Structure 1
Amino acid sequence: MQNTVYLETFTSPANYQDSHKIDISLESLVSYSIYKFCSPDGVDIKFVYKNGTIDNVSVFTQHYENVKIYNANDIPWQVRSCNFPVVKYEDTIISGLCGVARHICKYRSMKNLSHEHEEGLLGFRKSCLQAPNEVSIWTKFCEVDIIKTVNNILGSDQLQEIPKNLIRFENHLNKPVKLHNIYKIARELKKENMNLNSNEIKQDTKEMSQKERVSKPRKWKSNIKKSLEIDCTTKIEELHISHKFAEGPFLTLADLILFISYYIIIQSIGTTYFESLLPLTYKWFDNIANITELRNILDILPKVTIKPLKIDNVIVPTIDDVSLYKSDPKRHNPKKRLFTKESDIENALSALQDGMELKITYNKMNSGIKWDDIPNGANPCAGHLPDDRIVRKSQQLENLALAVLNIAKDGDLIVDFCSGSGHLGILLAHLLPKCTVILLENKEQSLLRARARVHEMCLKNVLLFQCNLDFFVGKFDIGIALHACGVASDLVLDKCLKANAKFVLCPCCYGSLHATDRLTYPRSAKFSSINIDQYLCIGHAADQTHKDHHLAERGAKCMAVIDSDRARLAEEFGYRVTLSRLTPLSCTPKNNLLIGIPC
């Protein structure tokens, strides 16, 4: 069984033999430190030489003994298809700092520390950093934001402004702790404190009884049970649970990831100045630094080469005083529901010009799938869906599967982006045994369900990738996505265009489209005369396609507008694109189908 962690290094095997020093990225440093702390059973670690220009912003020089460095051609192609760090575990690839760190923790050999939750570093229900950074503010902070902050600091000679991410974490530590089972934890902590106090009282009573003879013991009724009661209507602020650690009263994996980054930050800025500026963060850092069992990490960090910054007239920016909890009621939500006026929608549609929209063709399927011949693992009938849902799901899968069968050839690598639990990809793997199918999904539990079905069917042509879309950088032949929500459909499209791969896409959630650091709207030059407000207004109206809705016809038109823009973008990349609709239309309100073939 292969279970290997792959980390990138900028030092060639030959240079390592001469110096026994390697240059590694911050993500590799964090992953290696957690690996050393956990000492995972049965998990190997390999450094992979990354040839090319060294980015000094993210390089750390360390002395390592008995390290073997591999060239990129010596590692599996699946690993090369993702950004480092990467784990290859049997037929599963895990990419991304938090996902890799979680995997390492699952094979940890050392016993839990007294500072941890009873379920270990992954905390209650093993949920620490489980949500991907695309949906979790907390995971994004640990995996993306703080890493960028460290790299920016290391790339500078002078500190001109306190990074906003440092202030965000300071604010977080000052806010009430929010946990799923916070009232239970509050009762347990209160019980522990009462037990300590009770033991002290018993000891005092014992000492007194040795000095005084008590004629008759008094009967008394214990009020312990009553005092332990904590009403769930109690305000969280009154539970007296503080941020001793990043996520509350227990040490978690998030603390270890952040601790390594903050060690570098504090060394760069200076301990005295950092403590005066961010006292809660320094207290948190000092708590962790004084845990003796973390010596494996503490022994590694002093070997990191860190350049102190020049500190002079530093600006302290003002930011929103909110925590890093997504549920913080004070948090501004830029994606909150958009309400548009009828006049806004009509004005946006009137801005369309002739020739913008792609003609919608009729999706005529020449044949169907014989579902009675499809094994349970790939058949919606084998699940626990209502009968009408089974019919509609089967129709959706049939439309996309037949479209892929029409353009696939033997040996193709097909990527099912945002695969969920793998309904479409597993069906294709069964129908196309001479093709390889990758199920790419960033939610761990969904991919585990898919993995169980793949193993149940004994499919040998399926690989599972647990990672965000942007972590996947490999080449492929066909990209597919069934109802990838909002911007995810555009990210999938961009992946296909970059790889010059065919695509079969059925988009979803048009109303959640929004500009990001990687996406701008409109997508194509053909639609450039439409401004962003008009575009998002059309996207919002495109979600009004529910059955028997009086605006469903206009909603279908708005869907066609957005998907025409996507098609025009693909045409600019030299693709031949068709826009059709699923058959029957009733199988889903989001029934557009984009098929693109490179010319």
Structure 2
Amino acid sequence: MKNELYLETHTSKQNYDKTSILKVSLESLITYCVYKYCIPLDIKLYFVHTTDSSDKTLLNLQAEHIDFVHKEDICWQVASCLYPVILFDDTIITGLCAVSRHICRHRTSAQSSNEYDDGLLSFRQGCLQAPNEVSIWTKFCEVDLIKTVKELLSEEKLDEIPKSLIRFENHLNKPVKIHNIFKVARELKKENIKSKVHVDHINSSTIDINELKDEARMPKHRKWKSNKKKSEIDIPLKIEDLDLNHQFAEGPFLTLADLVLLPSYHIIVQIIGKNMFESLFPLTYKWFLKITNINEVISLELILQTIKALPLPIIKSLEIPKIEDVSLYKSDPKRHNPKRRLFTKPEDIEKALDVIEDGMELDVSNLEFEALDWKEIPDGANPAAGHLPDERVVRKSQQLENLCQAVISMAQDGNYIVDFCSGSGHLGILVAHLLPKCTIILLENKEQSLLRARDRVHKMGLTNVYFFQCNLDFFIGKFDIGIALHACGIASDLVLDKCLKSNAKFVLCPCCYGSVHATDRLVYPRSSKFKSMTIDQYLCIGHTADQTHKDHPLTVRGERCMAIIDSDRARLAEEHGYKVTLSRLKPLSCTDKNNLLVGVPS
């Protein structure tokens, strides 16, 4: 089984042999540090020599015994993703946090006494598991802080403290939030009280609680097993008495998050200067010193000390920007939440619909397709073989039937087809079975969903399916057809943009129109034909498009609003030279969100 890690370097093997120095990106440096800490003996590390990167903030990494591979010699799966990349049998893992988690799972290094009993991935292996689209914490570690470091490395003058550094300082000042916090706190206090009794032979009923709290902060290697028997020492604890502080980034234990953050902060401290950094961020500096003094981390410090000749910006005085004091564990306040919106008023809907002029909306065509013989479809690709209620099986089968027939009508032998936001692979696996001469990519950022799909594919014996555990952003490969069934909100637009950029055909059945919202990458309306609409009018129509429930008096209006949003998407594709049809799934009862966009480039 292949288990290979690929990092990017801008140093050729010939130059490396002369200097033992590699020019690498910050992402590659962080991943290399995680790799050296974990020592995963069954993961082979390769550096890919490339010259076509827009990253101007490369770092010098001194490394020994490096294996090189030329860009032209790597397999297409690896070449389809941004580095770092893991090739694990038939699965690709990309994205800094996901790759680092995979490395942790294969570690052979001794566990530090500062770690939780479950290791770097902490309680139930959950550290940095959530993708950055939904987790503000993963986004901070994987995107925000790295962006900050690269900006610092490229600035000639620094006038303002980066907001991300203030956010982490505030984070360390907040109460610890971990899933098993009460259990950890009770065990810490009980164990330390027992230790105190044993050592001092306590003869009085008085205990110095402040001293015990100080001892409770000392990390120790222990297992937190539930004990249903009544404890010999019963200590009632209230939440305000827990007194668990952020010794590390995620609480009382060293986790993968600390290793991911360390290289970035090593650079930041070097740029700003230790004295100024300590005065600005005392809690962060305390965390930084604690991490760097851990025996198991010293080897990483030796690696990071080789980062020399950093471009240092001129710092005269620093302004402190005002930011919202929001925990990095909470939902991003900027993240769109349609439940926070006020109920759309009828008069606002009418005003928004009045803006629609002739020629803006796409005609809804009639979808014709041949029904599948589901008796001939094997269990792994058949919803009837799962654990769904009978009614749900019928509707799911009808949805898959519609999209599969659309894909079959446009596919050619040898095509690469990507099932975006594939979940557990219902659509992509069925397409793979029906089109054995095509290569199918199941792209999903949730690890457990992809593992379920992988298990079904292997049981079916399909050899034309590959698995990509990553966000849409990390996939940069070329493909021929992009498909997505009920990709929620802006995900449908991100998939559409991927298809347009690759000049690929697309079959999209959008969902959650009320979740559409402007981002730093998406502007609404999307097409020039709809530019007469304001963003508020557009979102009003999107919110109304979700009012398509069965036997509801507003369903007709909701269906029209769905068609308006999808017409805007279709017009954007037409501006890129596509021929687009808008139709509806049959029967309409198979789903409330039953629009189908099919696009073919000219």
Q: CA deviation at 1:200?
A: 1.9
1:292-332, Cα deviation, whole Å (9 max, x unpaired)? 1112211100001233333211101111112101259xx56
Partners of 2:141 and 2:34 lie apart in 1 by: 14
Residue number in structure 2 paired with 1:60: 59
In 2, the alpha carbon distance for the partners of 1:333 and 1:431 equals 39
1:87 touches 1:95 (CA, 8 Å); kept in 2? yes
> TM-score scaled to structure 2, two decimals?
0.93
What's the counterpart of residue 2 of structure 2? 2
Residue matched to 2:355: 351
Q: Partner letter of residue 142 of structure 1?
A: C
Tell me the equivalent position of 2:574: 571
Matched, 1:133 2:137: no
Question: What CA deviation, in whole Å up to 9, does each residue of 1:523-582 have, x standing for no partner?
Answer: 111111111110011000001111122111111000000000000001111111100000
Query: Is contact 2:29–2:61 with CA below 8 Å preserved after alignment?
Result: no
Asked whether the equivalents of residues 410 and 435 of structure 1 are also in contact (C-alpha less than 8 Å), the reply is yes
Instruction: Flag the 1:224–1:397 CA change in 2: closer, same or farther, 3 A.
Output: closer
What is the identity, as a one-letter code, of the residue corresponding to 1:335? N
Q: 2:487 aligns with which of 484, 488, 497?
A: 484
Cα distance, 1:399–1:336 mapped onto 2, change above 3 Å: closer
CA shift digits 1:58-82 (9 cap, x unpaired): x111222322322111111110000
Change in 2 beyond 3 A, CA 1:332/1:482: closer
User: What SS does the aligned partner of 1:56 have?
Assistant: coil
1:123-162 residue pairs with structure 2 within 5 A?
Answer: 123-162=122-161
Aligned position for 2:114: 115
Q: Which residue of 2 aligns with 1:317?
A: 321
Q: Which runs of 5+ in 1 are unaligned?
A: 206-221
Residue of structure 1 in register with 2:446 after alignment: 443
Choose the corresponding residue for 1:495, options 493, 498, 501.
Answer: 498
* CA–CA distance in structure 2, aligned partners of residues 484 and 453 of structure 1: 22
CA shift at 1:191, angstroms?
Answer: 1.9
Alignment partners' CA distance in 2, 1:33 and 1:63: 12
What residue in structure 1 maps to residue 337 of structure 2?
Answer: 335
Q: Partners of 1:302 and 1:56 in 2: how far apart?
A: 21
1:268 to 2:271 alignment:
yes
* 1:381 Cα deviation from its structure 2 partner: 0.9
Counterpart for residue 523 of structure 1: 526
| Distance of 2:441 and 2:268 partners within structure 1 | 39
Q: Aligned-pair distance for 1:204?
A: 8.4
**Structure 2 residue identity aligned to 1:15:** N
Does residue 529 of structure 2 align to residue 536 of structure 1?
no
Q: Does 1:374 align with 2:377?
A: yes
| Corresponding residue for residue 283 of structure 1 | 286
Residue 366 of structure 2 aligns with which residue?
Answer: 362
2:508 aligned residue (505, 508, 511): 505
Structure 1 residue 157: Cα displacement: 2.7
Q: Deviations over 1:467-523 (max 9, x none)?
A: 000110000000000000100000000000110111000000100111111110011
Structure 2 counterpart SS, 1:352: coil
* Alignment-mate amino acid for residue 177 of structure 1: V
Corresponding residue of 1:215 = none
- Residues 47 and 67 in structure 2, CA contact (< 8 A), matched pair in contact too: yes
CA shift in 2, pair 1:165/1:184, >3 Å: same
The 1-side partners of 2:587 and 2:562 are apart by: 17
In the alignment, the residues of structure 2 paired with residue 54 and residue 519 of structure 1 have an alpha-carbon distance, to the nearest angstrom, of: 22
Structure 2 residue identity aligned to 1:197 = K
Pairs aligned (count): 575
Instruction: Tell me the distance in 2 between the aligned counterparts of 1:557 and 1:155.
Output: 49
Cα distance in 2 for partners of 1:266, 1:449 equals 43
Provide the rounded CA distance (Å) in 1 between the counterparts of 2:53 and 2:574: 34
**In 2: Cα distance, 1:442 partner to 1:55 partner:** 25
After superposing on structure 2, the runs of 4+ consecutive aligned residues of structure 1 that deviate more than 4 Å are 222-226, 331-334
Q: Deviations over 1:147-203 (max 9, x none)?
A: 000101111233211000000001111111111222111212222222221222338
SS at match of 1:227: coil
DSSP-derived class of the 1:51 partner: coil
- State the Cα distance separating 1:342 from its structure 2 match: 1.1
Task: State the distance in 1 between where 2:53 and 2:74 align.
Answer: 21
- The answer for the alignment partner of 2:29 in structure 1 is 29
CA distance in 2, matches of 1:462, 1:54: 32
Kindly provide the CA deviation profile for residues 243-284 of structure 1, in whole angstroms up to 9, marking residues without a partner as x.
Answer: 111111111000110111101100110111111111111111
Residue of structure 2 in register with 1:44 after alignment = 44
Q: Contact between 1:173 and 1:323, CA under 8 Å: does it hold in 2?
A: no
What is the CA–CA distance in structure 2 between the aligned matches of 1:124 and 1:559, rounded to whole Å?
43
What is the rounded CA distance, in whole Å, between the counterparts of 1:110 and 1:497 in structure 2?
A: 45
TM-score normalised by the chain length of structure 1: 0.93
State the match for 2:241 in structure 1.
Answer: 238
Q: Secondary structure at the match of 1:506?
A: strand
Distance in 2 (CA, whole Å) between partners of 1:100 and 1:70 is: 19
The structure-2 alpha-carbon separation of the partners of 1:397 and 1:289, relative to structure 1 and needing over 3 Å to count, comes to same
Asked if 1:547 is matched to 2:555, the reply is: no
Matches within 5 A, 1:164-243: 164-202=163-201, 225=232, 227-230=234-237, 234-235=238-239, 237-243=240-246
Is the CA contact 2:85–2:95 (under 8 Å) kept in the aligned structure 1?
Answer: yes
**For 2:365 and 2:232, how far apart are their aligned partners in 1?**
71
| Partners of 2:336 and 2:517 within 8 A in 1 | no
Whether the aligned pair in 1 keeps the contact of 2:38 and 2:108 (CA below 8 Å) is: yes
1:208-266 alpha-carbon deviations (Å, 9 max, x no partner): xxxxxxxxxxxxxx996463344xxx43x432111111111111000110111101100
Question: In 2, Cα distance between the equivalents of 1:389 and 1:46?
Answer: 46
Q: What displacement does 1:17 show?
A: 3.0
Residue pair 1:78, 1:93 contacting (<8 A) in 2 also: yes
C-alpha contact 1:6 1:48 (8 A) present in aligned 2 = yes
The DSSP-based 3-state class of the residue aligned with 1:65 is: coil
Shift of 1:22: 1.2
Deviates more, 1:287-296 or 1:145-154: 287-296
| SS of corresponding position for 2:254 | coil
From the superposition, tell whether residues 334 and 481 of structure 1 become closer, same or farther in structure 2 (CA, over 3 Å): closer
| Unaligned 5+ runs, structure 2 | 205-228
Instruction: Report how far residue 20 of structure 1 moved.
Output: 2.5
Q: Which whole-Å CA distance do the structure 2 matches of 1:485 and 1:146 have between them?
A: 27
SS across alignment from 2:501: helix
Letter in 1 for 2:407: V
Q: 2:224 aligns to what?
A: none
**One-letter amino acid matched to 1:541:** T
Which residue in the other structure is 1:385 paired with? 388
Conserved in 2, the CA contact under 8 Å of 1:270 and 1:308?
Answer: no
